[in-house]
Amino acid sequence: MWNVLLSFSGPVALIQLLFLPFFPESPPYLLLQKDDKAGCLKAMKQLWGEGNYHTEFDDLMKEKAITKGTKIMNVLEVLRERSVHPQLCAMLLLLLSLQLCGLKIFETANLQESIIPYVSLGVSISELISVIFCSSIIDRFGRRVLLCGGYLLMALVLVLLETSLLLSDQFLWLRYCSVILIFLFIIAYGLGP
Residue 106 confidence (pLDDT): 63
Residue 103 confidence (pLDDT): 53
Per-residue pLDDT tens for 75-129?
788 788 888 888 888 877 766 665 555 555 666 666 677 777 777 777 777 777 7
Taking the domains of the chain in order of start, what are their residue ranges?
1-68, 75-191
CA distance linking residue 38 with residue 32, whole number of Å: 12
Averaged pLDDT, 130-140:
73
CA distance linking residue 188 with residue 146, whole number of Å: 9
Q: How confident is the model at residue 71 (pLDDT cuts 50, 70, 90)?
A: confident
Residue 107 confidence (pLDDT): 61
CA distances from 62 to 32, 134, 169 (A): 10, 28, 62
Q: How confident is the model at residue 26 (pLDDT cuts 50, 70, 90)?
A: confident
CA distance linking residue 66 with residue 53, whole number of Å: 20
With vertex at residue 143, the alpha carbon angle to CA 68 and CA 29, rounded to the nearest 5 degrees, is 35
Per-residue pLDDT tens for 136-178?
777 677 777 777 788 888 888 888 888 887 887 788 788 778 8
CB 53 within 8 A of CB 44: yes
Residue 79 confidence (pLDDT): 81
CB 107 within 8 A of CB 178: no
